[in-house]
């Protein structure tokens, strides 16, 4: 049992950390919540005017918001699923001992270490309709007669974004999964083998269940990150063509920066924030169950 004095010292020591957390997390979020009750835009000469739930009401009838939410979901689901599958494959390979494994592991991280804006520009060039490598390869293989306008066609632009994101963040997932794989004892596999299990069976019965916590953690990180994707989209398509790759964060950016609609922008931030918290909560509950 701590006595009062010790408790006080404890709080005193915690105070700087709590203060900084409050400053960088709680204040901006609370401010966004507060602002979302007001109309503060060009129509009100940038002065805040109380509207209650007005901003949220407007969101219900805002087709662009729903489309951007849909785009974000498609992007997140597709990229996270692909990254998980590829990342698991890469992790399994890197977990085996082979000549030059150290070098290969290092090389495998490079895409993740590159700044997103830089690699986004590179991918924009790769998918360029006139000079892009992708079109060049497809034409040389005889699969195409003329280049496809990847970034100018709604569905294909989304495909291009997903490919770029998968390339960039698969290494991140494979590193987390690799750490998990290395904590699984070889003995388990040996015992399982002696009981007559095939490698396929031991993958399903040992590797996957024991790797579950790492998979969920990777999912958590990636989900939160890709739901808020901004830089990659901004550099590669800017949300175009015709809003088909506009994600929620791009929409929020235009609402605040281009339209100077601060109140509505705050409402968008709040809703996205709540959705994200919900998704993270679901994954956390799953994680707790797996661990228990």
Partner 1 sequence: MFIFRCLTKLKKIGSRLLKAKRLLAIFLVSLAIQFAILPAWTQQPVIIKTLIRADEAQQLQPLVKEFNQQHPDIKFQILEAPSDSNQVEDLYTSSFLLGNSPYDVVYMDIVWTPKFAAAGWLRDLSDRLSPEEAEKYLEGDIAGGMYQDRLYRLPFRSDAGMLYYRQDLLDKAGYEPPETFGELLEISQDLQQQGLADWGYVWQGKQYEGLAAMFVEILQGSGGFWVEPDTLEVGLDRPAAIKAVEFLRTAIASKISPPGVTTYAEEETRRLFQNGRAVFLRNWPYVYSLALDSPIAGKYNIKPMVHAVGETSGATLGGWGLGIAKSSKHPDAAWEVIKFLSSEDSQRKFILETGFVPSRIDLFNDPKIIAKYDYYPKLLEVVQSSALRPPIPQYAQASDILQRYLSAAITGSMTPEQAMKTAANETRNLLKR
Binding site for partner 1 (CB under 8 A): 39, 41-46, 49, 51, 54, 58, 61-64, 152, 241-243, 254, 257-261
CB of 109 to partner 1, least distance (A): 33
CB of 71 to partner 1, least distance (A): 13
Would you say 155 or 205 has its CB closer to partner 1?
155
Q: How far apart are CA 121 and CA 139, in angstroms?
A: 22
Would you say 58 or 105 has its CB closer to partner 1?
58
Would you say 39 or 84 has its CB closer to partner 1?
39
CB of 138 to partner 1, least distance (A): 21
DSSP 22-74: IIIIIHHHHHHHHHTTEE-SGGGTT--EE-TTHHHHHHHT-HHHHHHHHHHHH
What is the b/e burial string over 227-245, where b = at least 16 CB atoms within 10 angstroms of the residue's CB?
bbbeebbbbbbebbeeebb
CB of 69 to partner 1, least distance (A): 15
CB of 63 to partner 1, least distance (A): 7
Would you say 127 or 223 has its CB closer to partner 1?
127
Q: How many CA atoms lie within 13 A of 31 on its CB side?
A: 8
Contacts of 4 (CB under 8 A, 6+ apart): none
Contacts of 50 (CB under 8 A, 6+ apart): 37, 38, 39
Q: How far apart are CA 231 and CA 120, in angstroms?
A: 8
Would you say 165 or 261 has its CB closer to partner 1?
261
CB of 117 to partner 1, least distance (A): 15
Q: How far apart are CA 239 and CA 164, in angstroms?
A: 15
Q: How far apart are CA 29 and CA 257, in angstroms?
A: 18
Would you say 50 or 98 has its CB closer to partner 1?
50
């Amino acid at each position: 049992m701590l006595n009062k004095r010790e408790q006080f010292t404890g709080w005193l020591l915690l105070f700087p950390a709590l203060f900084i957390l409050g400053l960088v997390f709680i204040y901006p979020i609370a401010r966004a919540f507060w602002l979302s009750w007001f109309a503060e835009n060009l129509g009100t000469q940038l002065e805040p005017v109380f509207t209650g739930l007005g901003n949220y009401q407007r969101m219900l009838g805002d087709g662009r918001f729903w489309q951007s939410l849909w785009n974000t979901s498609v992007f997140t689901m597709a990229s996270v699923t692909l990254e998980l599958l590829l990342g698991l494959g890469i992790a399994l390979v890197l977990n085996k001992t082979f000549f030059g494994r150290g070098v290969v592991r290092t090389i495998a991280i490079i895409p993740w270490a590159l700044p997103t804006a830089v690699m986004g520009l590179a991918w924009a060039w790769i998918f360029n309709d006139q000079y892009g490598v992708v079109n060049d390869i497809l034409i040389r293989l005889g699969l195409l007669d003329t280049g496809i306008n990847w970034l100018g066609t709604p569905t294909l632009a989304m495909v291009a974004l997903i490919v770029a994101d998968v390339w960039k963040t698969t290494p991140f997932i494979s590193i987390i999964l690799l750490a998990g794989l290395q904590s699984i004892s070889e003995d388990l596999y040996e015992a399982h083998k002696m009981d007559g299990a095939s490698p396929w069976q031991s993958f399903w019965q040992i590797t996957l269940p024991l790797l579950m916590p790492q998979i969920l953690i990777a999912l958590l990180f990636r989900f939160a990150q890709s739901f808020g994707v901004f830089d990659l989209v901004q550099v590669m398509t800017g949300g175009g063509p015709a809003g088909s790759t506009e994600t929620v964060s791009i929409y929020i950016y235009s609402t605040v920066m281009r339209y100077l609609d601060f109140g509505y922008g705050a409402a968008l931030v709040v809703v996205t924030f709540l959705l994200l918290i919900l998704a993270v909560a679901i994954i956390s509950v799953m994680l707790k169950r797996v661990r228990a």
